[in-house]
């Protein structure tokens, strides 16, 4: 009975140690995450192998695993930048980004877990200032916004391509101009719309006038051709045809054949 505790104590100690080692050796990577393995006694961060994927992993207890989110993430930025004529403009933008999966070890080794603040934010701010500085407030307010968005994306991507980060999209959500500039641009756009509307009315009126002239000319030409083709003989034949049709009508009438030069009939009736 006295020997049992002495034997049990080392066993309990071994079991506790094994539990601690197992706890330190077991690593679970969640959905949308990946792990960078750090080998304490073997050159530190592992960069020549893919990161640990989702699921359960067992590592040496003296090593560590740094977990990164590898899904697409979104960064919101409010920036004050200067236009080409020196006016301060506020840009609300967002960037969709994610780490390059197979280079996650290099990302951790070179930039660490704070890579968002170290490279992504400075890159998008620098690109936005560079691009906006090439445009006027008129361009930002009107049709050039899509082009500006593309340029910011392309310039930011050039910077991040060498930083183990994949940039998927940059969206310019809002552009805030100084109130006086915004009002001046709106007045200018309104005047341009009114000018275009006036020009449209002038063009429409000119086309309507041209249409009337063409129709009148067509009628005049038709009448001239018809007058030239109506000889006395044709008119007399037409009169005879009309007389025959009237004589066949059931209405009572008296037809007196004329004896003048034209010989056209005179029709007397009770209708």
Q: What does the pLDDT look like over 158-180, one tens digit per residue?
A: 989 889 999 999 998 888 876 66
Residues 171 and 244 grouped into a single domain = no
pLDDT at 103 over 60: yes
pLDDT in tens, 16-44: 666 666 666 788 899 999 999 998 888 88
In the structure, what pLDDT confidence band is assigned to residue 216 with cuts at 50, 70 and 90? confident
Q: What are the DSSP E strand ranges found in 70-164?
A: 73-82, 88-99
CA–CA distance, 110 with 162 (Å, rounded to integer): 11
Is residue 161 in a domain? yes
Half-sphere exposure of 43 (CA within 13 A, CB side): 4
Rounded to the nearest angstrom, the gap between the alpha carbon of residue 240 and the centroid of all alpha carbons in its chain is 76
Residues 195 and 208 grouped into a single domain = yes
pLDDT at 121 over 60: yes
Contacts of 110 (CB under 8 A, 6+ apart): 163, 164
Contacts of 129 (CB under 8 A, 6+ apart): 79, 81, 82
Mean of the per-residue pLDDT values for the chain?
78
Angle at CA of residue 261, ends 255 and 262, nearest 5°: 50
Among 145, 177, 209, the domain-final residue is 177
- How large a percentage of the chain has pLDDT more than 70? 65
Is residue 58 in a domain? yes
Residues 64 and 82 grouped into a single domain = no
Could you tell me which of 195, 250, 222 has the C-alpha nearest to residue 269?
250
Instruction: Lowest mean pLDDT of 39-43, 151-155, 216-220, 234-238, name the range.
Output: 234-238
- Per-residue pLDDT, 226: 64
Is residue 183 in a domain? no
pLDDT at 1 over 50: no
Highest mean pLDDT among 1-5, 7-11, 219-223: 219-223
Contact predicate 37/63, CB 8 Å: yes
3-state secondary structure of 37: strand
- Per-residue pLDDT, 165: 94
Residues 158 and 87 grouped into a single domain = yes
Is residue 184 in a domain? no
pLDDT in tens, 60-83: 888 889 999 999 999 998 888 888
Is residue 102 in a domain? yes
Residues 147 and 77 grouped into a single domain = yes
Among 13, 43, 69, the domain-final residue is 69
Residues 115 and 153 grouped into a single domain = yes
**Tokens 């991507």, residue located:** 157
pLDDT at 118 over 80: yes
Residues 204 and 240 grouped into a single domain = no
Q: What is the total count of domains within the chain?
A: 4
Residues 171 and 193 grouped into a single domain = no
Average the pLDDT over 208-236 and give the result.
71
3-state secondary structure of 84: coil
Q: Annotate 167-224 with DSSP letters as a single string.
A: EEEEEEEEEE--HHHHHHHHHHHHHHHHHHHHHHHHHHHHHHHHHHHHHHHHHHHHHH
pLDDT at 271 over 50: no
Helix (H) or strand (E) holding 153: helix 145-160
CA distance readout (Å), 246 to 104, 140, 239, 262, 267: 105, 81, 11, 18, 9
3-state secondary structure of 255: strand
Residues 61 and 79 grouped into a single domain = no
Is residue 193 in a domain? yes
- Per-residue pLDDT, 194: 60
Contact predicate 62/40, CB 8 Å: yes
Residues 97 and 170 grouped into a single domain = yes
Is residue 98 in a domain? yes
Residues 82 and 136 grouped into a single domain = yes
- Fill in the DSSP letter of residue 52: B
pLDDT at 142 over 80: no
Residue 106's domain is classified under what CATH number? 3.30.479.30
Helix (H) or strand (E) holding 116: none
Among 50, 69, 88, the domain-final residue is 69
Instruction: Lowest mean pLDDT of 33-47, 82-96, 224-238, name the range.
Output: 224-238
Q: Find the domain containing 205 and state its range.
A: 189-229
Residues 173 and 78 grouped into a single domain = yes
pTM for this model (two decimals) = 0.60
Is residue 79 in a domain? yes
């Amino acid at each position: 009975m006295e020997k049992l505790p002495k034997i049990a104590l080392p066993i309990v100690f071994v079991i506790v140690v094994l539990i601690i080692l197992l706890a330190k050796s077991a690593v679970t990577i969640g959905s949308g995450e990946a792990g960078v393995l750090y080998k304490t006694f073997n050159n530190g961060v592992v960069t020549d192998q893919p990161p640990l994927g989702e699921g359960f992993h067992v590592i040496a207890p003296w090593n560590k695993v740094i977990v990164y989110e590898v899904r697409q993430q979104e960064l919101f930025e409010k920036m004050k930048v200067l236009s080409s004529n020196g006016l301060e403009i506020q840009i609300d933008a967002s960037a969709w980004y994610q780490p390059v999966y197979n280079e996650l070890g290099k990302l951790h080794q070179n930039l660490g877990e704070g890579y968002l603040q170290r490279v992504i934010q400075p890159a998008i701010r620098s690109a936005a200032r560079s691009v906006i500085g090439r445009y006027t407030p008129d361009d930002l307010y009107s049709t050039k916004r899509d082009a500006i968005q593309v340029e910011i994306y392309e310039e930011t991507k050039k910077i991040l391509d060498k930083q183990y980060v994949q940039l998927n999209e940059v969206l310019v959500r809002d552009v805030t101009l100084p109130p006086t500039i915004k009002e001046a641009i709106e007045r200018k756009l309104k005047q341009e719309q009114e000018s275009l509307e006036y020009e449209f009315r002038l063009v429409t009126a000119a086309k309507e006038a041209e249409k009337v002239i063409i129709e009148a000319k067509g009628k005049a030409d038709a009448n001239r051709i018809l007058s030239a083709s109506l000889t006395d003989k044709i008119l007399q034949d037409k009169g005879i045809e009309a007389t025959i049709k009237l004589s066949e009508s059931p209405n009572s009438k008296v037809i007196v054949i004329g004896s003048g030069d034209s010989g056209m009939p005179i029709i007397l009736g009770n209708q």
